[in-house]
Chain A
Amino acid sequence: MSNILQFIVDETRQILLQKGETVTDITLETEFLTDLPMDSLDLATLIVSLEMHTGLDPFRSGFKTFYNVGQLVELYESIEN
């Protein structure tokens, strides 16, 4: 599992735990807003945490569409490489 993927999975679990939600299964295909009990502010929290962790902001140049974990991982890995 890549570092980014591991961070996204751990951070997502942490954000949900703070809401009193426990999620066991998060895969590359998991969609944030439909498969998980997340709302848009939870997703914003994840993005802020990712920026702090990686120092990268793939959204600096504008909106980027992503729905699932794999697509978010790809956004960060495409900047890193």
Chain B
Amino acid sequence: MPLMKHVIVSGGSKGLGLGIVKSLLQNGYHVSTCSRTKTNAMTELEDIYSCFQWFPCQIGDAQQTADFVKSACEWAQDVPLWAVINNAGVAKEGVLASFPNLESDDLLQVNLNGALYLAREVLRVFLRQNSAGRIVNISSIIGTRGYTGLAAYSASKAGLDGLTRALARENGRRNITVNSIAPGYLDTEMSSTLSDNKRQQIIRRTPMHRLGSVDDITPAVTFLLSDGAAFITGQTITIDGGITN
């Protein structure tokens, strides 16, 4: 029995975002997601679930984001918007001294401004609905710990945690909670560029002696959307196998 709750996930066509989409669908939510291009996984999920819809959208583009939220809410019809998962992100590697400004601008536009634009549109829907709601920002331990060659990425994720704390204060009185989930090093497409040496180093330094998986993260997302998480806001939940311990 599907829940009468609609959740928007940005960047749900692959990697962690796809895992989040699948997990939410399995938990009965109506789910809409967006990405620049439609993957086979999106078509397959649309075929299986009538309560799932993919939309094209370049996160980081304010107008496209507004159009996406409008279309997604129209698609969901009388199922009210309950939550947004700000997951879309890009990672580009290189020491800052030789990192092109254009590349860092693009990265910050997607990872930080994109999340901010999407949160803005969703908050406007919550206000219109006069409803409670949930915002979950997918940040990263890199935002608090830093990582060589990932200065712009690190800055974007630290910014996301700041956005989380500010929005939690701003919207708490409307029963809208805002939290971050900070994964550690995951075994996804995004980490596939890590050299074998770096990968082994991370595994050695992780108390759980492995990289994380998408399945390590998705339960925290569904928990933050549940009734049990109604009084949790402004927090960053770290899921990293203990590496930042």
A33-69 CB mask vs B (1 if < 8 Å, else 0) is: 0000001010011001100100000000000000000
Residues of chain B within 8 A of A3, CB atoms compared: none
Q: Tell whether, in the assembled complex, residue A18 and residue B130 are in contact, meaning their CB atoms are under 8 Å apart.
A: yes
| Majority SS at the chain B contact face | helix
Q: Tell whether, in the assembled complex, residue B174 and residue A48 are in contact, meaning their CB atoms are under 8 Å apart.
A: no
Min CB distance B53 to A, Å, is 22
Contact residue range for chain A?
under 10
> Of A18, A39, A41, A49, which contacts B128 at CB under 8 A?
A49
Residues of chain A within 8 A of B127, CB atoms compared: 41, 44-45, 48
What is the interface size of chain B, counting residues whose CB is below 8 A from a CB of the partner?
9
Cα(A69)–Cα(B127), bound, Å: 20
Residues of chain A within 8 A of B130, CB atoms compared: 18, 45
* Chain A residue with Cβ nearest B176: A41
B171 proximal to A (CB < 8 A): yes
Which of A39, A44, A49 has the most B CB atoms < 10 Å from its CB?
A44
Residues of chain B within 8 A of A49, CB atoms compared: 128
Min CB distance B116 to A, Å, is 15
B170 proximal to A (CB < 8 A): yes
B124 proximal to A (CB < 8 A): yes
Q: Tell whether, in the assembled complex, residue B173 and residue A41 are in contact, meaning their CB atoms are under 8 Å apart.
A: yes
Cα(A55)–Cα(B186), bound, Å: 44
18 intermolecular pairs with C-beta atoms under 8 Å apart: A18-B130, A39-B173, A41-B127, A41-B170, A41-B171, A41-B173, A41-B174, A44-B123, A44-B124, A44-B127, A45-B127, A45-B128, A45-B130, A48-B124, A48-B127, A48-B128, A49-B128, A52-B128
* Interface residues, chain A, with chain B CB atoms under 8 Å away: 18, 39, 41, 44-45, 48-49, 52
